[in-house]
Copies of this chain bind each other. A is one copy, B any other.
């Protein structure tokens, strides 16, 4: 009996794959139709003896049943969490990746060269030196861990990788509006979240630089070691962008690593109209961002860029015998991705980014950015012109937070707006998310979606007013 898992009948496999492809493209053609989101209540996809080992037909039935219960981000009115919509052409790159089935931890392969090409493009695009380095990650969360480990180890000396960092008193700084992945990175790296000082923001949502300078002074006086300032380009709630140039100046003066979390707003760099907002980003020591957000690459595809390749490599490289450099053959062509990050096993994420850039190009991706910003502007204007709605924050980017206030004064507006957003999601009409702005529960609209049209804002507002009145 053969132990091969290849199809016994390749013709049948070909027909099966074609059928599946056709059905999937049907679905893609309908991305803008139907409900944004369908609740998976009652969907229990257990792996029990009734399904295990049941063959191709059962598998494909199961896959197609699953398909309806997605996140919703392929729909033009998924307007909540910062997810990109992806592209149909991403399917082509993913098909190629599945066929190659490459492990991209290392080895001398074309796959690794594709990743280098993407990193080189990103370094040039963000104005970092071509001698810099980088890595494709699952997302900004992992990119942040990698960048902050570089900052940590560069400060302590790379021997701390062996000895640990007890008693060193490392502290870092970020805005109180920064993303929670920074706290989590401090936790991961053994520094503890408290060692990341949360500097209050000025009313425009940017880190208060006077308070930052003061915090650094106090920490130095207390005998602690400031080692990193984490600027934010695009806060989650408002899209605010810190004063990156000023932070770069401060970091140079204080000899501190300058990291920037540009998770979604990195895409502004592709817009001729809006790239100025990122002034100063090119002076950072490291940048973490996502291709799968505003650049519309399929999940998952994040990236970390590091100005100083030597620091990056010495933060991660570590070669046991079975990974020694062979000079030629499969075991050569170093450094490898495993020299730049924690993963030895890693899929071929780079190819869909590379293909997206070849097919659509930075200009077309930048046009999505421009359009989404225009749509948010339109939405903010409509909200201002609607007495039953209250605009809570809008900063001329792609994010808009507001709430339904109706015409009653005493209502518990937090509960009302929370219920409103849930009913909106359950209706399938649109999916904004919620957050809190100055303590108030807000409907949060974030537009990072190439399928979204201005009319979708009208559909959204009509639904909100209708549901709000009903509640």
Residues from chain B with a CB closer than 8 A to the CB of A54 are 358-359, 361
Taking a contact as CB atoms under 8 Å apart, the answer to whether B3 and A102 are in contact is no
Taking a contact as CB atoms under 8 Å apart, the answer to whether B89 and A180 are in contact is no
Taking a contact as CB atoms under 8 Å apart, the answer to whether B3 and A100 are in contact is no
Taking a contact as CB atoms under 8 Å apart, the answer to whether B67 and A359 are in contact is no
Q: How far is the CB of A69 from chain B (nearest CB, A)?
A: 3
Taking a contact as CB atoms under 8 Å apart, the answer to whether B95 and A47 are in contact is no
A43 to B138, CA, bound (A): 26
Q: Which residue of B lies closest to A10 (CB)?
A: B29
Q: Does A469 contact B (CB under 8 A)?
A: no
A138 to B362, CA, bound (A): 28
Taking a contact as CB atoms under 8 Å apart, the answer to whether B140 and A345 are in contact is yes
Taking a contact as CB atoms under 8 Å apart, the answer to whether A433 and B5 are in contact is no
A/B interface sample: 10 pairs, CB < 8 A: A4-B450, A5-B360, A18-B21, A27-B99, A69-B111, A74-B100, A94-B97, A183-B318, A184-B318, A322-B435
Chain A's interface size range is 35 or more
Residues from chain B with a CB closer than 8 A to the CB of A426 are 328-329
Taking a contact as CB atoms under 8 Å apart, the answer to whether B52 and A362 are in contact is yes
Q: Does A280 contact B (CB under 8 A)?
A: no
Q: How far is the CB of A39 from chain B (nearest CB, A)?
A: 7
Residues from chain B with a CB closer than 8 A to the CB of A463 are none
Pick from B92, B139, B165, B329: contact of A60, CB under 8 Å: B92
- The interface stretch among A205-213, A250-258, A296-304, A380-388 is A296-304
Pick from B290, B292, B320, B342: contact of A188, CB under 8 Å: B342
Taking a contact as CB atoms under 8 Å apart, the answer to whether A164 and B195 are in contact is yes
Copy total for this chain? 2
Q: Which residue of B lies closest to A97 (CB)?
A: B94
- The interface stretch among A112-120, A226-234, A240-248, A405-413 is A112-120
Residues from chain B with a CB closer than 8 A to the CB of A69 are 109-111, 113
- The interface stretch among A214-222, A346-354, A389-397 is A346-354
Q: How far is the CB of A340 from chain B (nearest CB, A)?
A: 12
Taking a contact as CB atoms under 8 Å apart, the answer to whether A24 and B99 are in contact is yes
Q: Does A262 contact B (CB under 8 A)?
A: no
Q: Does A459 contact B (CB under 8 A)?
A: no
Q: Does A455 contact B (CB under 8 A)?
A: no
Residues from chain B with a CB closer than 8 A to the CB of A56 are 89, 359
Residues from chain B with a CB closer than 8 A to the CB of A363 are 53
Taking a contact as CB atoms under 8 Å apart, the answer to whether A40 and B109 are in contact is yes
A28 to B52, CA, bound (A): 25
